[in-house]
Amino acid sequence: MEDTRLGPRQRAPGSVSLLLLSVCLLSLLAVACELLWDGGPLAFVGLLFGRCVVVGVLPALAVVAAHSWLSAARSGRASRARGYAGAALCAACALLVPLGGHWFERLAERRQVALLARVDQRAAPLITALRAYTRDHGAAPRKLSAVVPDYLPRLPSTGAPRDRAFGYDPSAGWRHHYRLAGGGELCLWLAGRLHDAELIGAQSVAGAVFDPRLWRRDRSPAQAAAFVELSRQGLSRLTALSMLGLPDWRDAPPEGAWSLDASVFTGRRGRGVLYVPFERYPQSSADGRERRLGRWWLYDY
């Protein structure tokens, strides 16, 4: 009687494919933990396992599984259609984790933005308290806890899973003033990593191209207007200061020079929001990744 039992070599393609699928699912789980879990040991394990498997184990395992199916098709142990379909499925499994990782990354970004958008609701009483303290004392408090209990019963949290406390800087925002020839001034608002330029008491002249040498030589309203247009294209703070040079004087805005920030951290990267009381932000950075979010500035770090 003919022995119809399958030998080890005949079971190899299916066994390797099952192992490949299991590794793919574990890799997707690891990538999800890395991207969606806000830091901690689980995110670190996901990062370590996901990177090692995706880079080292998964491609080699996919090649072995695909080769097993092709060999089975050539030797007659499996039909050609089944063998080629199995090889194609193995190749698709190898692409599943990178594509799934991209999807999880987009999901993590949307989750981060949603969390940071809710920060404004939690920060509203704190912003009101800081404004009142600055108005009553003529300067922002040196520590955030100074508004408790006279202006606020207790400090609110950001609502993020980690980094629940608001960051605070009492001297983050300044105005740099540059006198212009013929009257008026160029005011450069600085707040942490941000800046915004404004022409005050002078008529804007369109069509000029900003030249740092001409600016330092004549301080004309045309050059000042050209810098205002240039600054809205996403100049960094350091670049803006190097172009304009030293100001004639600087001061704190009437609303105060303080700033608040909150962040959401994931295994791969973090995002944060920054608030300054004069709320002067560009619409977005040059690459579009940093942008205005309500009355906050959304940034990567």
The 10s digit of each residue's pLDDT in 83-100 is 677 667 666 666 666 665
3-class SS at 193?
Answer: coil
CA angle 185, 191, 196 (to 5 degrees): 40
pLDDT tens figures, 201-213: 887 777 788 999 9
Total residues belonging to the chain: 301
Name the β-bridge partners of 291.
Answer: 284, 298
Share of the chain above pLDDT 70, in %: 59
Q: What is the pLDDT of residue 146?
A: 93
Distances (CA, A) of 133 to 144, 159, 167, 181, 231: 11, 24, 17, 38, 32
The confidence band for 8, taking pLDDT boundaries of 50, 70 and 90, is very low
Global confidence as pTM? 0.60
